[in-house]
Amino acid sequence: MKRYRYHAIFLFLLVISLCPSLHLMAEDGYRLWLRYDKIADRALLAKYNTSVTGWMTAGDSPLIASAAQELQSGLHGLLGVKIPNVHAVTSHGIVVAGTPASSTIISSLKLEAQLQGLGDAGYLILTTRHRGKKITAITALSDPGVLYGTFHFLRLLQSHQDIAHLAIKSLPKVKTRILNHWDNLDRTVERGYAGRSLWDWSALPDSIDPRYRDYARANASIGINGTVLTNVNANAKVLTREYLAKVAALAEIFRSYGIRVYLTARFSAPVEIGGLQTADPCDPQVITWWKNKADEIYEMIPDFGGFLVKANSEGQPGPQNYRRSHADGANLLADAVAPHGGIVMWRAFVYDKDVPDDRAKQAYNEFVPLDGKFRDNVIIQVKNGPIDFQPREPFHPLFGAMPATAVMPEFQITQEYLGASVHLVYLAPLYEECLRSETHCAGSGSTVARVIDGSVYPHPLSAMAGVANIGDVRNWTGHPFGQANWYAFGRLAWDPDLDSGAIATEWIRMTFSNDAAALNKIREMMLASREIAVQYMTPLGLHHIMYYGHHYGPGPWVDSGRQDWTSVYYHRADSLGLGFNRSSSGSDAVSQYHPATRDVFDNLQTCPENLLLWFHHVPWNYKMRSGKTLWGELCHQYDSGVQSVNWLQQQWRSLEGMIDSGRFSLVDGLLVKQARDAQIWRDGCLLYFQSFSRKAFPANFSQPAHDLAHYKNHIFSDIPGIE
């Protein structure tokens, strides 16, 4: 019986080794892009095993310990053999990671000139020689740089790059690269579509979920160095000592990966948890309360990053409650954290239903007069567009409009307006579109990226924030391709000049496959996906016509309740035409842009057609550049979006057998839902707009399956995170 058991085990192992697909079946997406599976290409594996024969790290910090752990597991997994941790360079192929201060080997290489300017996060990966032996040096001026360089080196192996002659120098162009979690203390997540919050506050600080460390690893691997744990619609309770002890436990884990913890500060906290009668930022008692609270936080969390604040927006309390300015409120908190090196990120997402002006203008109108009045450790956090994370918006006019104030972009990684965790929408092209937009604030070349990284207007602070799409579901983001948006945000925060296609290629190679056929098809899908979503949701500059509340499906007919939360406020459809007139003859929102940009947007003939209805109310018979009327082009765009989702399905199904069965089936099922809901978007929106245009659908156009009433009453009952 024992012999038969051994034979059975042998046969099982033989089948596993001969059938890679059985390995693939076990894939559940938990490892994200940090999948250190053995390289299947035998020729490449042989090269790597020659190039990497051992590894060593120098230094005793937690960051170096993290780098050592990553090298050990990464090299072992990718190369299929245990690569020894050595103590000396006795052969070719040793990987040496450390700083000149911690490593005598690195110091002996005399790399001072090449390391110059790397700051506290940049790194150098270099093929060189030490005492005649060929080595790979991963070095930096600081331990965080060594960790980032280690992840980069492993990424080269994962993506099958040549490592024989390396000379890589990389440093972040943005100093603070941060995730914003809209997580509540009861573990619900606002605009969360991937389960509950990662942070189990009831178990902390005593019980530490292993996911916390894996979360930190994933962030460090793409250069993210900060995390805001709590929702911008803040709960003051997180600033109590009970909760600060829980935050400190998380900070202890994240510290080993170079990640600082930040919290959202509820402006009324001195009243709600401090027992004061006021939260007036100019009141001496309030000033003292925040100073003492900051001292308490830094006593428990010495490397605490600072506060993120949403104030006087959507019901959140703020300085305007006391007839004070945003600068008064931000400076109150900035002064409290300044002695400890902390910063304040003050959100510019402000609008008031009682202000009769165009909502798109309100942030600019409130903040530009305050330029130069904020402390040096305050940075204004500005959404990428002037409304609210729409599938397409023009860049926010505040970028470049406040030369004396540091400004940072806020992107949404979670897909609030782009199909939740159901639709496959790769967001890097959206981020890139904003970052490469020309503000003209200081002449040609003054892109949003150059404004926010300090190249145009130098500031001590630079930052980029992304609203996280992460929850406690096994694969972190719900949709496997949602992981790509987290990855892309981190890579663009490190270097806003990176290309969306290059980032997609990296992610696919590390997450799905290095096979050329699979790589090219998935890359093509990803790069087309955002434009496809715009087509079936909000083509030609339409915006904010989503279903009221959850924003998942279409709702151009929403016309009740608060005016600036209705769809009709934004699309302005009538018998004459469609679109919000923000030109100089309308709300004049165009005047908030530099004249070189303003003049392009203001002119119906020169305005980009993908923003036409954002800036102009356009007649239904207006002739578009395609030769179609506005109505005909609108129908074409919506229909093309639906057809393109069908193409996404076909592309994906052609990959069957090349992708592990678990993730293949999950994505395939989600694409079925996406196709269904894209059709609902098309049919519902066009039937509604047809009620104004009174025009027939074009020839050869497939008629909607139902009448308008059907789409108005449709309920989405199978969407994660949506009730």
Spacing of C-alpha 499 from chain mean position: 15
CA 270/CA 278 separation, integer angstroms: 7
CA 33/CA 508 separation, integer angstroms: 8
Helices and strands in the chain, H and E counts: 24, 15
Q: Which alpha helices (DSSP H) does 189-240 contain, by range?
A: 210-221
Helix (H, G, I), strand (E, B) or coil at 680: helix
The residue annotated as part of the active site, out of 314, 357, 559, 656, is 314
Kind and range of the H or E run holding 137: strand 133-139
Spacing of C-alpha 42 from chain mean position: 36
Question: What single-letter DSSP state applies at residue 339?
Answer: G
Helix (H, G, I), strand (E, B) or coil at 12: helix
Q: Determine whether 388 is an active site residue.
A: yes
Q: Which two tokens stand for residue 655?
A: 């990959």
Parallel/antiparallel/unpaired status of strands 306-309 and 343-347:
parallel
Q: Determine whether 410 is an active site residue.
A: no
Q: Which two tokens stand for residue 681?
A: 């978007």
Is the Cβ–Cβ distance between 360 and 541 less than 8 Å?
Answer: no
Question: What single-letter DSSP state applies at residue 697?
Answer: P
CA 465/CA 174 separation, integer angstroms: 11
Burial environment of residue 712 by CB neighbours within 10 A (0 to 12, 13 to 18, 19 or more): middle
Alpha carbon distance, N-terminus to C-terminus of the chain: 56
CA 60/CA 67 separation, integer angstroms: 11
The residue annotated as part of the active site, out of 70, 358, 388, 660, is 388
Q: Which residue has the tokens 């042998």?
A: 10
Looking at this protein, which amino acid is placed at residue 200?
A: D
Q: Tell me how crowded residue 372 is: count the other CB atoms within 10 A of its CB.
A: 10
CA 128/CA 171 separation, integer angstroms: 20
Question: DSSP for 37-69?
Answer: PPP--HHHHHHHHHH-SEEEE---SHHHHHHHH
Question: What single-letter DSSP state applies at residue 547?
Answer: P
Instruction: Determine the angle formed by the axes of helices 516-537 and 500-511, rounding to 10 degrees.
Output: 130
Parallel/antiparallel/unpaired status of strands 260-264 and 343-347:
unpaired
Looking at this protein, which amino acid is placed at residue 555?
A: G
CA 688/CA 384 separation, integer angstroms: 29
Q: Determine whether 432 is an active site residue.
A: no
CA 205/CA 203 separation, integer angstroms: 6
Question: DSSP for 297-326?
Answer: HHHH-TT--EEEE--SSTT---GGGGT--H
The residue annotated as part of the active site, out of 27, 280, 416, 438, is 416
309, β-bridge pairs: 346
Cα–Cα distances (Å) from 160 to 163, 221, 523, in that order, read 9, 17, 17
Q: Which alpha helices (DSSP H) does 177-238 contain, by range?
A: 210-221
Is the Cβ–Cβ distance between 476 and 217 less than 8 Å?
Answer: no
Which residues are the active-site residues? 314, 388, 416
